[in-house]
Structure 1
Amino acid sequence: MSELDQLEEIEDMVEEGVHNYSTEEHYVVPTDPKVLAKLEWFQDQKLALMMHWGVYSQIGIVESWALSDADAEWSRNCVDWEVTGEEFKKQYFEMNKTFNPIRFQPEKWAEIAKEAGMRYFIFTTKHHDGFCMWDTSYSDYKITNEDCPFHTHRYADVCAHLFEAFRRKGIGIATYFSKADWHIDSYWSTKFEKGSYQNRGPSYNPSDYPEEWERFVQFTQNQIMELGTKYGKIDIMWFDAGWVCKENNQDIRLGEVIDKIRKFQPGMLCADRTVGGAYENYVTPEQCVPDKPLSIPWESCITLGNSFAYSYEDNYKDPREVVNLLIDIVVKGGNLAINVPPQPDGRLPQEAISSLKGLGQWLKIYGDAIYGTRVCEPYKKDGIAFTKKDDTVYAIQGFNNETDVVTTEVFIPYEGKVKEIKCLKTNEVLEFDKKDNGYMVHVPEHHSDEAPYARVFSLI
């Protein structure tokens, strides 16, 4: 493959802000036993709360992407200002001067996440626009700087307070960090040949300006080290902007800094998404679910609404949809990272909270069929999904609509030997008949006009 073909392939991994994901063939199994143990922990968790929050939340547009002139056609279509691209970028970069989420309540967020059944938390410490949600020593473009009105608030160091609040609820911490930084002049600058025109990559060829690129590398590594050493226990570092990689002539030597951090954070996972290799410990399908089970660790990041960033007219998935999405992912061996965008005032949208609570209520009853499970053939067949934990197989029957008929007989197409079948909700032992390709289970009548989100049977 030519260098040009490689670059085009890397760019194709992102289309209109949505990332594709690495294939199983590109996966490198870690050799560090502590990382391997952490991957087992990761595959037990199944459910994460993801959050994109930054200056862009104030005006309800897509996060960062409108700054890229190469992405202007799709990312600026919601901007009605009669301004040039340069004026738009100037106004965007000055939104730090109005970002003041005075209703931010980190403990409340953590309580909601716990009630929803979340097991780990992925938070945008910095998106491509370069605005830092922690008190970094390496950039003034941050929420704690004096030109941001929120800097006087007691929760000004957002990451510090969020991470501590979530840890107190027993929820793991993952730091989302963009390897690109469209604010720092060692990545984007008008002094190079392209002038003011910017795309996703740096304003220059790193091979032509190695000293400039090294300045950016040191800046990036310093920020990653800050997050990895000054903000308590980190379970996962989750890196976006997959075009910033060695294969694209944008090598930030990520492995160097991750290896240093692992001396303080043994076993910490690294998700260098879409890059492959030793530092993409799990892959991250975005806004999609693989058609079949993957043989490697993975996590689908999917929005609860229509977009990752807060949108004033957003429509959120209801609990039924989220439950069945989670089931579809878990039976294929993956985790669901469900993205909930906070409002610009610091609260979570009420409709989103209601959906999360509905998910949590289902998990309180049926969580044993989700958490800590692994894939189980036949995975999903005839409307029944399967998971397994130790010697127990879980058969999950989902209902996509509240008007679906809930029968008193359920055929479970499982061909393994079964001694006992129980209703997981009531622990009631159920009668069943062995058939050629499975078991016909006799279930008590469902006393409700509305079908459940899903019901689960345990097979022993």
Structure 2
Amino acid sequence: MKMSNTAYMTRPCDQWVLCSWFAKLSAVVLIACCAATAEVRSEDAPADKETDPTILANIEKFRDWKLGLFIHWGPCTQWDAPIAWPLTPVATWARADDLPAWVERGKNFDVFSRDFFDLNKTFNPVQFNPDVWAEAAADAGMKYVMFVTKCHDGFALFDTKQSNYSITDPSCPFHENPRANVAKEVLDAFRKRGVRAGMYFSMPDWHHPDYEDPALPYKRLFTPNYDINEHPDKWQRYLKFYRGQVEELMTGYGPVDVLWLDGGGGSGWETDKLAEMARRHQPGILIVHRGAGGRYENYRTPEQTIPPHALPFPWETCMTMGDLWAYSSRDYYKTTRELVHMLVDVVAKGGNMLLNIGPDAEGRFPPQALERLKELGEWTKVNGEAIYGTRAVPPYREGRVCLTRKGDAVYLIYLAVPGEIKPPHVISVSGIQPAEGAEVTLLGREDVPLQWEKQGNGVTVRIPHKLSSPVAGEYPECRHAWAVKISKAIVHGEAKH
């Protein structure tokens, strides 16, 4: 990881992490998803920038998608535990006193770790039905899925021949189920509904002895528990193993649009070799070695946060629908209004939003998550024109109004304040004005032209009473935010686009 090129770092997990290898700080707050990310950093060296026209074109297609689904799942859901991080000695937050499995084992880390790794032997999600997941996501307006094929704990949710620690191995009771090759079932189901396929893969594997040497003290972080320069043979064996698993994913699971490589801290990962192999099997695939920078991090991935301003490179915020990455029966789920507002804020700043849901131990999406997806879909069906395929336009946001652009059109998306369930009578912004002959309408009610007037270099749009004061229950799908379309707009202060 190119720490010298990093202005600030983010890592997706249930908490923030300040690992000893990262900052040598005594305070440790770990994040429990499966990811490592370097975000806003100085410009990568020009020689290391992506130049392949196919990859660059695919990055632009990715930027059109705007909304995706992240899925973290695994045996840990049987314990209501965070994913992977309870195995890390310094991650005391992941073994809290309200975690029954930790208390029941007398808070003995060795016993707890042994039993955590053995959860594969009882993992039997008989209610798993990827068609339900895919249908709900597609109806919500999600254009791509990022499925966690393997997290840091090393348990593979695909049919790997490189390891027996997988859902298709006889040690796992679900191996006899016709849908046991979960990753394939998930991606096939989503593709059938026109949703693009992405794979998350953890570069570290805390279950593999050539990454986490069992003869040495536990570490279980984003670098091995040994010095790779002192043990090059062991490290090369591990690289062969992890590339072998990625090659399985690249060859037996249909077309893949994005390969998300997480947790690869430090140097020595030989990502160039992995990328060559992956693109030989999947031409044009986007590769995101999080935190690496340059040509093998095709877009950046801040997580559990939305940048305060537009960023000068392709990016995607990964955000949990609840508070945690893996399922917990005690999780809190963000409201639909919060989700809509976050999506609009991200898109107005030029990013994508990857929204995470964790299925439960039986293989079901939580009812709260399905409800949010349904309501999110109601909003995107009316207002998706202001979201998908758009780009950022300055000033990006003014107060409650976020801006997006598609071709000559500019959209003014008003975010409702608490308690507000109907659009305001007036929406004003600076720097944007309708061009001659432009039509100004409210999405969902294009049959009613809106009156507008210039205000300096900006515009004030007036929404008539019959639209701003609807009968109770009318257009409830838009009660979180409303989008005004200016079909042909002048953007002051920037070169003509």
**TM-score of the aligned structures, taking structure 2 as reference length:** 0.86
Q: Distance in 2 between matches of 1:110 and 1:145?
A: 25
Aligned AA (1:233) = P
CA apart distance, 1:443? 0.7
* SS of residue paired to 1:344: coil
Tell me which amino acid in the other structure corresponds to 2:142. M
Q: Indicate conservation of the 8 Å contact 2:433/2:457, yes or no.
A: no
Alignment of 1:28-427 (within 5 A): 29-71=49-91, 73-77=92-96, 78=99, 79-81=102-104, 82-192=106-216, 194=217, 196=218, 198-243=220-265, 245-246=266-267, 251-403=268-420, 406-418=423-435, 419-427=438-446
| Partners of 1:180 and 1:359 in 2: CA distance | 34
Question: 1:319 Cα deviation (Å)?
Answer: 1.3
The structural deviation recorded for 1:173 is 0.8
CA distance 1:292–1:404, change in 2 (3 Å)? same
CA distance in 1, matches of 2:155, 2:307: 32
Structure-2 separation of matches of 1:11 and 1:85: 23
Aligned counterparts of 1:85 and 1:231: Cα–Cα separation in 2: 37
Q: Counterparts of 1:417 and 1:16 in 2: how far apart (Å)?
A: 49
Please state how far the C-alpha of 1:151 moved relative to its aligned partner: 0.5
Distance 2:41 2:251 in 1: 31
Paired residue type of 2:332: N
Tell me the distance in 1 between the aligned counterparts of 2:324 and 2:230: 37
Aligned residue type for 2:95: R
Q: Secondary structure at the match of 2:296?
A: coil
Q: 1:278 to 1:56 in 2, by over 3 A?
A: same
Cα distance in 1 for residues equivalent to 2:238 and 2:276: 19
Aligned amino acid, residue 166 of structure 2: K
CA contact (8 A) 2:212 2:219 kept: no
* Whole-Å separation in 2 of the counterparts to 1:350 and 1:131: 26
Give the distance between the partners of 1:319 and 1:299, measured in 2 at CA: 20
Deviations 1:268-327 (A, max 9, x none): 001111221220110000100000000100000000001001011111112111111000
Alpha-carbon distance in 2 for matches of 1:433, 1:197 = 63
1:45-79, CA deviations, whole angstroms, 9 ceiling, x for partnerless residues?
000000100111111111101111122x2211133
- Residue number in structure 1 paired with 2:493: none
State the AA in 2 paired with 1:420. Answer: E
Query: What is the CA distance between 1:421 and its match in structure 2?
Result: 1.1
**Percent of counterpart pairs with the same letter?**
36
C-alpha distance 60-394 of structure 1, shift in aligned 2 (>3 A) = same
What runs of 5+ residues in structure 1 fail to find an aligned partner? none
* Cα distance change of structure 1 residues 89 and 17 upon mapping to structure 2, 3 Å threshold: same
Comparing 434-443 with 153-162, greater Cα deviation is found at 434-443
Supply the distance in 2 between the matched residues of 1:129 and 1:434 (Cα, whole angstroms).
58
Q: How many equivalent residue pairs?
A: 451
2:135–2:193 CA contact under 8 A, matched in 1: yes
Distance 1:158 1:170 in 2: 19
Amino acid at match of 1:353: L
CA 1:329–1:199 in structure 2 vs 1: closer, same or farther (change >3 Å)? closer
1:253 Cα deviation from its structure 2 partner: 1.0
Matched AA of 1:325:
M
Instruction: Indicate if the aligned counterparts of 1:131 and 1:143 stay in contact, CA closer than 8 A.
Output: yes
Indicate conservation of the 8 Å contact 1:237/1:270, yes or no.
yes
Q: Which piece of structure 1 moves more, 405-414 or 359-368?
A: 405-414
Cα offsets for 1:358-411 (capped at 9, x unmatched): 111100001000000001111001321100001100110011423467432222
Partner letter of residue 253 of structure 2?
Y
Structure 1 letter corresponding to 2:30: E
TM-score of the aligned structures, taking structure 1 as reference length: 0.93
The residue identity in structure 1 corresponding to 2:214 is: T
User: Shift of residue 92 of structure 1?
Assistant: 0.2
The aligned counterpart of 2:492 is: none
Is 2:459 the counterpart of 1:439? Answer: yes
SS of match in other structure, 2:294:
coil
SS in 2 for 1:278: helix
> Is the partner of 2:162 in helix, strand or coil?
coil
Deviations 1:317-350 (A, max 9, x none): 1211111100000000000000011011011001
> Contact 1:70–1:198 (CA<8 Å) still a contact in 2?
no
Q: RMSD over aligned Cα, in angstroms?
A: 2.3
